[in-house]
């Protein structure tokens, strides 16, 4: 989850466990320990791009380190607050709770979390809550605001506010699981009606809500992507996008450690494609994540149309190039770098789709289906028109 959600949840743990004994300091300690596991990103400066993927949400998010951290930091807090009548085991429980809830909600989204490190590199993902969800975050912020600021001197009322906030989070989590099952049933019925048999089918929530769901499914050779909203009309046409996985293009790159790591990161949901103008390169897209629609100027000068090309592009996409000295890896598109300027419009577009609107939601061609192979799937060069990014349909 995002850093604000993690810090806020940690602060809530501190308020609930240590609020009566330490006052606002309990929430501050919770904020710190709710953030601590994500400080693994401080090591990014000495890691390669693929090493960063294997490091983040790794050992710092493991069950082993939860217990070790609670054991060590529980003793540290006991020593810091030795004048307070607080047992070591309460401090132990607090640190474990703040740490473990951080890891738990990280498991909610599609990114995956390695909770069994260092014994297993498997990444666990429940796929029931978006990496940023205002319906999960905002009630926590409001609860902490009233408990720690407005009613900070009223202990009983603070406790009630903390419990009400906690109950809301539990109910929202349960609702997300219910919605996930409903979406899964809808998609399974849709695939059956289309006569498509799949090996795997997963429903994941879209940005900051549990009402609009994205399906990614696969058989031996193809991937399938579709969307469904709780508020879709019964007569709305549901589009299922189908495309080959392209895994035969791995040939010649099998010994690339970067490719092996990216396949692991994608948990097997990786699309591989090539461009005719780059015979020594392959592109890897993460299909289990979402995609954005990128608007590009037409390349062909033969067409009189001024319409922009509409490219459906995975939010995680890399390029591996074979060189004389080995392989080079490049992250060709990054939403925070290349699409952040239109984030507000993208959010508005998503919520229009949540309401069952945006009939052209999946309008566009995937990166590997574009008819301009001389254009690499990345941002336009500086001497060309500025890139425009939107989430599907505005």
Residue 60 vs residues 1, 66, 76, 376: alpha-carbon distances, Å: 15, 8, 19, 36
Which pLDDT does position 235 carry in this prediction?
Answer: 86
> Over pLDDT 90: what percentage of the chain?
70
Considering only 28-42, 183-197, 263-277, 332-346, which range has the smallest mean pLDDT?
A: 332-346
234 vs 18, which has greater pLDDT? 18
d(CA 192, CA 322): 41
pLDDT, one tens digit per residue, over 215-250 is 999 999 999 999 999 999 988 888 899 999 999 999
Strand 291-296 and strand 281-286: pairing?
unpaired
pLDDT, one tens digit per residue, over 113-133 is 999 999 999 999 999 999 999
Which pLDDT does position 337 carry in this prediction?
Answer: 61
d(CA 108, CA 127): 5
Considering only 7-16, 103-112, 200-209, 302-311, which range has the smallest mean pLDDT?
A: 302-311
Which pLDDT does position 340 carry in this prediction?
Answer: 54
Segment 375-392 mean pLDDT: 41
pLDDT, one tens digit per residue, over 361-372 is 878 889 888 754
Q: Radius of gyration over alpha carbons of the chain, in Å?
A: 23
Burial 322-337 (b: 16+ CB within 10 A, else e): eeeeebebbebbebee
d(CA 47, CA 202): 32
pLDDT, one tens digit per residue, over 59-88 is 999 999 999 999 999 999 999 999 999 999
Q: Answer whether 35's CB lies under 8 Å from 10's CB.
A: yes
Strand 212-218 and strand 222-229: pairing?
antiparallel
Which pLDDT does position 35 carry in this prediction?
Answer: 96
Which pLDDT does position 331 carry in this prediction?
Answer: 87
Residue 58 vs residues 115, 237, 315, 334: alpha-carbon distances, Å: 7, 41, 21, 22
The pTM score is: 0.88
Which pLDDT does position 385 carry in this prediction?
Answer: 36
Looking at every residue in the chain, the average pLDDT score rounds to 87
Residue 392 reports pLDDT greater than 80: no
pLDDT, one tens digit per residue, over 329-359 is 998 777 666 655 556 666 777 888 898 888 7
């Amino acid at each position: 989850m995002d850093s604000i959600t993690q810090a806020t949840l940690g602060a809530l743990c501190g308020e609930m466990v240590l609020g009566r004994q330490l006052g606002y300091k309990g929430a501050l300690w919770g904020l710190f320990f709710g953030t601590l596991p994500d400080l693994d990103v401080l090591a990014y400066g000495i890691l390669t791009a693929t090493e960063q993927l294997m490091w983040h949400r790794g050992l710092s998010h493991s069950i082993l380190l939860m217990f070790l951290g609670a054991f060590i930091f529980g003793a540290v807090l006991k020593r810091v607050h030795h004048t307070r009548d607080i047992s070591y085991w309460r401090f132990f429980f607090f640190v474990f709770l703040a740490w473990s809830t951080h890891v738990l909600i990280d498991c909610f989204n599609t990114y995956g979390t390695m909770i069994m490190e260092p014994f297993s590199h498997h990444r666990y993902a429940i796929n029931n809550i978006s990496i940023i969800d205002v319906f999960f975050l905002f009630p926590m912020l409001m609860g902490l605001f009233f408990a720690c600021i407005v009613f900070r001197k009223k202990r009983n009322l603070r406790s009630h506010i903390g419990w009400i906030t906690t109950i809301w989070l539990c109910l929202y989590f349960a609702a997300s699981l219910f919605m996930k099952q409903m979406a899964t049933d809808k998609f399974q019925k849709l695939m059956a009606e289309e006569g498509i048999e799949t090996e795997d089918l997963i429903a994941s929530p879209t940005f900051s809500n549990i009402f609009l769901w994205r399906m990614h499914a696969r058989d031996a050779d193809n991937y399938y992507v579709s969307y469904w909203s709780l508020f879709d009309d019964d007569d709305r046409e549901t589009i299922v996008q189908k495309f080959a996985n392209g895994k035969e293009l791995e040939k010649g790159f099998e010994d690339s450690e970067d490719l092996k790591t990216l396949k692991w990161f994608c948990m097997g949901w990786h699309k591989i494609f090539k461009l005719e103008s780059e015979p020594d390169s392959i592109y890897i897209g993460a299909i289990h994540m979402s995609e954005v629609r990128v608007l590009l100027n037409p390349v062909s000068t033969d067409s009189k149309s001024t319409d922009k090309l509409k490219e459906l592009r995975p939010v995680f996409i890399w390029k591996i190039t074979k060189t004389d000295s080995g392989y080079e890896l490049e992250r060709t598109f990054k939403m925070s770098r290349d699409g952040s300027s239109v984030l507000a419009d993208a959010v508005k577009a998503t919520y229009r789709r949540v309401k069952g609107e945006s009939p052209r939601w999946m309008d566009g061609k995937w990166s590997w289906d574009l008819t301009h192979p001389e254009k690499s799937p990345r941002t336009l060069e500086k001497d060309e028109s500025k890139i425009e990014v939107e989430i599907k349909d505005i």
